[in-house]
């Protein structure tokens, strides 16, 4: 589980949109609004100018810490939202763009990583070239779909679409346009070797709720989606597009009805279903599975973990029951949709008009060069990241971050040792888990090898097509191989952090270890409040509702006693109920269960980081700065991590489809921490006030 989720939007073969800070900032990375004051001399501390002193901290801590910034910030037209840390993401993007630009000018030998970076980026930037090719790159693929003559060939074609484009536990992405998605990760039952996880798929809209919800905004989105499908088909040269669109929509609707929800997807025990190839025929008849696996180059695979068995049964049955022509149209539409960004402008514009404007309320596209940077990050992330880390992540920053990790881990250890409710044997395993935790700081120990990825000048479509296949075959190729516990799942230039439960590891990329999250020159109170709570958040995932399913070796094993679990469930149910009361819209509340693991991580992260900060100061509060006590700085720095402004449509999308709560509610975590009450003299009657017995304490 990562700190913040990426775009809810489809994980496109084209531009991978990184979502920053739980914000519903779909497609957004960063932006410094022109009207935000940038101090002439940077202050190494909290952003005092962002504070709104007209708000009482005890009533609304989020608006107290960020209100002045929110008031003067205008969301730029090409973003669904922006955040306080946006300047950091912008800076990271510019640096990455600089690295790509140098590569483009270097005239490096063909086949080298540098040449691949240049060719991939330039092929995407060559709009005239893409326009001149028209639909030609798509044609052989559409012809192949048109030539499918029966369900046997359909099964093979569906198998050929399988990609390694989902991720159930690390980058938590449950969405694929293809019928199913593959995730290769350490096995649930044999964490020493890589296993094949199969996840449900087949929807073009971000989540089943878009098809099923009765909310007026969703009904409206569906009407517009139907028109969008027809338009895309027309642009790709199809006839009878309204009728085809309706059949595609109805098929997706039928799939959506059988998809499991995001909240259910979080339950490891429901996901731990080992199926042998023969089980697919028996438990999910309909699709010709042997042919499907042949198409997917997986005929040799002896076992799969099927995450959502009921969805597999239903989707397979739909392959049998629905007409061949409907499935062929569905395949064609999903292909066009997936590659829209590297097809002629009319196709790309229509795609953005629906997915950008209608669905997320963003009036304009990001500039092409920025999308080009995302694209290179997506397909050649480590090639760029290696240069990024060498250039922008000094050893002093690494040393300071390591020291913080050590202090916060020690704080966690003390908290676990002191838990009155946890059995001794459970504690011993929890402490073992902490001891063997791999904490990656800045950049990975080994880099991905891109030598088998063929990037051709002037072939944007082909480069993305081969990128998806290259990644897929790399993942399939390591099935059964020994697990590398130090492997990373994020590139160094990613402003995010992640917990890898099956590896018992954490990654803190170089890009998040910068101001305002992390500033070696800032007081400890600020660093522990800003990045320390993030570190604590990720450590907490090791022990939360999901982490507690894995032992110190990353195996699925029940190492908790019945009574430990009862206590944990009671405490966390209280937290879920707390979040259920938050209502971003009159007709839409936060789903306390869907966001539970992330909310637990926030509570635990703040608590452990607070201890770590006090320990770093010899048990005392840190010194006053800019008129704020050390403790006040700690909590304000935390709340400023989540300062953001999001368009309504994007915020709705986040509430429905993200396992993270929106920033405003993440900042409200502080109401569960006793020290926050003392720091801001919060009194009964204030809106965030909770009586001591109502504050949720988990660790």
Kindly list the residues in this chain that would bind Zn ion in the complex (CB under 5 A).
1, 598, 601
Q: Are 297 and 479 in contact (CB under 8 A)?
A: no
Q: Are 197 and 305 in contact (CB under 8 A)?
A: yes
Minimum CB separation of residue 119 from Zn ion in Å reads 36
- How far apart are alpha carbons 96 and 86 in whole angstroms? 15
Minimum CB separation of residue 3 from Zn ion in Å reads 5
Minimum CB separation of residue 603 from Zn ion in Å reads 12
Q: Would you say 564 or 598 has its CB closer to Zn ion?
A: 598
Q: Would you say 13 or 597 has its CB closer to Zn ion?
A: 597
- How far apart are alpha carbons 118 and 123 in whole angstroms? 8
Q: Would you say 266 or 288 has its CB closer to Zn ion?
A: 266
Minimum CB separation of residue 602 from Zn ion in Å reads 8
Name the residue among 537, 533, 534, 532 with its Cα closest to residue 547: 537
Q: Would you say 266 or 598 has its CB closer to Zn ion?
A: 598
Minimum CB separation of residue 600 from Zn ion in Å reads 9
Helix runs in 322-394, H state only: 324-338, 345-352, 359-360, 368-392
Minimum CB separation of residue 169 from Zn ion in Å reads 11
Q: Are 633 and 529 in contact (CB under 8 A)?
A: yes
Instruction: Indicate the residue whose CB is closest to Zn ion.
Output: 1
Return the HEC string of 591-649.
Answer: CCCCCHHHHHHHHHHHHHHHHHHHHHCCCCCCCCECCECHHHHHHHHHHHHCCEEECHH
Token pair 């483009």 is found at 104
Rounded to 10°, the helix 324-338/241-258 angle is: 90
The contacts of residue 449 (CB under 8 Å, 6+ apart) are none
Minimum CB separation of residue 589 from Zn ion in Å reads 21
Angle at 15 (CA atoms; ends 12, 21), nearest 5 degrees: 90
- How far apart are alpha carbons 428 and 333 in whole angstroms? 53
> Helix or strand or coil: residue 217?
helix
Q: Would you say 104 or 571 has its CB closer to Zn ion?
A: 571
Listed as own residue / partner, the contacts of 521-525 with beta carbons closer than 8 Å and 24 or more positions apart are: 521/44, 522/44, 522/45, 523/44, 523/45, 523/622, 523/623, 523/625, 523/630, 523/633, 524/613, 524/616, 524/617, 524/622, 524/630, 525/613, 525/621, 525/622, 525/625, 525/630, 525/631, 525/633, 525/634, 525/637
Q: Which tokens go with 627?
A: 């008129």
Minimum CB separation of residue 408 from Zn ion in Å reads 15
Q: Would you say 296 or 576 has its CB closer to Zn ion?
A: 576
Minimum CB separation of residue 137 from Zn ion in Å reads 38
- How far apart are alpha carbons 582 and 584 in whole angstroms? 7
> Helix or strand or coil: residue 86?
helix
Q: Would you say 309 or 554 has its CB closer to Zn ion?
A: 554
Q: Would you say 155 or 601 has its CB closer to Zn ion?
A: 601
Q: Would you say 382 or 598 has its CB closer to Zn ion?
A: 598
Minimum CB separation of residue 566 from Zn ion in Å reads 24
Minimum CB separation of residue 537 from Zn ion in Å reads 6
Q: Would you say 174 or 312 has its CB closer to Zn ion?
A: 174
Q: Are 161 and 446 in contact (CB under 8 A)?
A: no
Q: Are 441 and 508 in contact (CB under 8 A)?
A: yes
Q: Which residues of 299-318 are buried (b: 16+ CB within 10 A; e: fewer)?
A: eebebbbbbbbbbbbbbbbb
Q: Would you say 354 or 488 has its CB closer to Zn ion?
A: 488
Minimum CB separation of residue 659 from Zn ion in Å reads 8
Q: Are 591 and 655 in contact (CB under 8 A)?
A: yes
Q: Would you say 167 or 338 has its CB closer to Zn ion?
A: 167
Displacement of CA 299 from its chain's centroid (Å): 31
Minimum CB separation of residue 605 from Zn ion in Å reads 9
Q: Would you say 291 or 598 has its CB closer to Zn ion?
A: 598
């Amino acid at each position: 589980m990562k700190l913040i989720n990426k775009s809810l939007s489809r994980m496109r073969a084209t531009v991978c949109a990184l979502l920053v800070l739980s914000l519903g900032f779909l497609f957004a990375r960063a932006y410094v609004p022109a009207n935000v004051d940038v101090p002439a001399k940077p202050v190494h501390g909290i952003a005092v100018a962002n504070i709104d002193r007209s708000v009482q901290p005890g009533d609304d801590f989020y608006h107290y810490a960020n209100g002045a910034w929110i008031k003067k910030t205008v969301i730029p037209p090409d973003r669904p939202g922006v955040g306080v840390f946006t300047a950091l993401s912008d800076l990271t993007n510019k640096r990455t763009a600089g690295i790509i630009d140098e590569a483009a000018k270097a005239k490096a030998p063909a086949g080298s990583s540098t040449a691949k970076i240049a060719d991939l980026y330039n092929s995407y930037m060559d709009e005239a070239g893409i326009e001149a090719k028209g639909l030609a790159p798509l044609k052989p693929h559409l012809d192949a779909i048109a030539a499918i003559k029966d369900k046997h060939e359909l099964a093979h074609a569906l198998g050929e679409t399988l990609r390694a484009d989902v991720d159930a536990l690390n980058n938590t992405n449950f969405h694929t346009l293809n019928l199913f998605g593959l995730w290769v990760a350490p096995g649930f039952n044999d964490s020493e070797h890589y296993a094949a996880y199969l996840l449900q798929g087949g929807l073009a809209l971000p989540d089943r709720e878009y098809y099923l919800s009765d909310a007026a905004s969703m009904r409206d989105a569906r009407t517009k989606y139907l028109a969008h499908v027809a338009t895309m088909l027309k642009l790709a040269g199809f006839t009878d597009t309204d009728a085809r669109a309706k059949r595609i929509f109805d098929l997706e609707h039928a799939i959506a009805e059988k998809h499991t929800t995001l909240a259910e997807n979080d339950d490891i025990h429901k996901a731990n279903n080992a199926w042998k190839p023969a089980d697919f025929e028996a438990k999910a008849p309909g699709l010709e599975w042997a042919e499907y696996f042949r198409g997917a180059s997986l005929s040799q695979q002896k076992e799969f973990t099927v995450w959502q068995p009921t969805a597999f049964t239903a989707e397979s049955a739909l392959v049998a029951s629905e007409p061949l022509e409907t499935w062929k149209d569905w395949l064609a539409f999903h292909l066009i949709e997936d590659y829209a960004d590297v097809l002629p402008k009319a196709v790309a514009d229509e795609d953005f008009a629906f997915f950008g404007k209608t669905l997320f309320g963003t009036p304009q596209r990001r500039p092409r060069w920025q999308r080009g940077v995302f694209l290179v990050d997506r397909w050649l992330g480590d090639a760029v990241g290696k240069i990024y880390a060498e250039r922008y992540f000094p050893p002093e920053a690494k040393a300071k971050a390591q020291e913080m990790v050590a202090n916060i881990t020690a704080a966690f250890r003390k908290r676990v040792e002191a838990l009155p409710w946890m059995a001794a044997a459970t504690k011993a395993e929890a402490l073992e888990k902490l001891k063997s935790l791999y904490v990656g700081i800045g950049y990975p120990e080994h880099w991905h090898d891109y030598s088998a990825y063929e990037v051709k000048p002037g072939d944007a479509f082909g480069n993305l097509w081969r990128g998806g296949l290259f990644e897929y075959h790399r993942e399939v190729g390591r099935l059964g191989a020994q697990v590398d516990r130090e492997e990373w799942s994020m590139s160094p230039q990613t402003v995010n952090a992640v917990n890898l439960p099956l590896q018992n590891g954490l990654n803190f990329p170089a890009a998040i270890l910068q101001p305002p999250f992390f500033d070696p020159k800032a007081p400890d109170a600020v660093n522990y409040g800003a990045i320390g709570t993030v570190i604590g958040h990720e450590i907490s995932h090791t022990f939360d509702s999901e982490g507690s399913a894995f032992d110190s070796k990353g195996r699925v094993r029940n190492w908790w006693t019945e009574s430990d679990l009862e206590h944990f469930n009671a405490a966390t149910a209280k937290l879920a109920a707390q979040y259920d009361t938050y209502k971003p819209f009159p007709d839409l509340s936060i789903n306390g269960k869907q966001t539970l693991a992330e909310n637990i991580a926030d509570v635990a992260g703040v608590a452990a980081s607070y201890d770590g900060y006090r320990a770093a100061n010899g048990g005392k509060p840190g010194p006053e700065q800019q008129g704020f006590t050390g403790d006040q700085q700690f909590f304000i720095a935390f709340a400023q991590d989540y300062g953001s402004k999001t368009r309504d449509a994007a915020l709705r999308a986040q509430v429905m489809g993200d396992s993270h709560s929106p920033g405003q509610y993440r900042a409200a975590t502080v109401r569960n921490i006793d020290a926050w009450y003392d720091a801001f003299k919060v009194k009964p009657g204030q809106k965030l006030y909770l009586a001591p017995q109502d504050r949720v304490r988990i660790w």
